[in-house]
Structure 1
């Protein structure tokens, strides 16, 4: 099965009072997702607009990527093939409380 699609992403940036805000819009043709991000310039730092733009845009796109990933997870769950839940990188596993060898 071959499938081709073209999705468009646009990023708009605004800076006011030392804060840069970014808005990243993904247009799939069937709908849109919007990611947001911001960056503030430390008052003691030199103002370099491009750095604020880069930080705010990357944060907006990270937000957008997370939304897209969660949408895919929901779609998979609706089809009955949901991914395994994320595992905790530290601490006891969730089932440890019910295990007799764990002292509970």
Structure 2
């Protein structure tokens, strides 16, 4: 069975009061998820905006990724698969999915 999708992700970066903030939005076609991240520069550090952008963006994407993993775990459990604590690591992936 062939399955191909394209999910659109947008990443918005903005600076406000010395803090770089990021918002990552993922549209799957059936849901929209939003991850958030921020970076605060120590006043003693040199002002390098790219570092704040990278940190804030990375944190927003990590937040978004964790949301996707949480949803996938609930979905796997929703189809009747036991969760990892019930099966233990020695039994391997449940229903062919590795969480």
Q: TM-score of the superposition, structure 1-length normalised?
A: 0.79
Question: In 1, distance between residues paired with 2:25 and 2:78?
Answer: 25
After superposition, what is the alpha-carbon deviation per residue over 1:5-45, rounded to whole angstroms, capped at 9, x for unaligned?
A: 00011100110221000000010011111000000000111
Quote how far apart the aligned CAs of 1:81 are.
1.2
Misfit runs of 4+, over 2 Å: none
Question: Unmatched 5+ residue regions in structure 2?
Answer: 89-99
Aligned residues: 86
Once residues 82 and 5 of structure 2 are traced to their aligned partners in structure 1, the CA distance between those partners, rounded to angstroms, is 24
2:9 matched residue in structure 1: 9
> What's the Cα RMSD here?
1.2
Query: Quick check: 1:74–1:82 contact (8 Å CA) kept in 2?
Result: no
**Secondary structure in 1 aligned to 2:53?**
helix
Q: Which has the larger radius of gyration?
A: 1
Between the aligned partners of 1:3 and 1:83, the Cα distance in structure 2 is 25
Instruction: Go from structure 1 to structure 2 and tell me whether the alpha carbon gap of 1:82 and 1:56 turns closer, same or farther (over 3 Å shift).
Output: farther
Gaps of 5+ in 1: 88-104
Name the counterpart of 1:28.
28
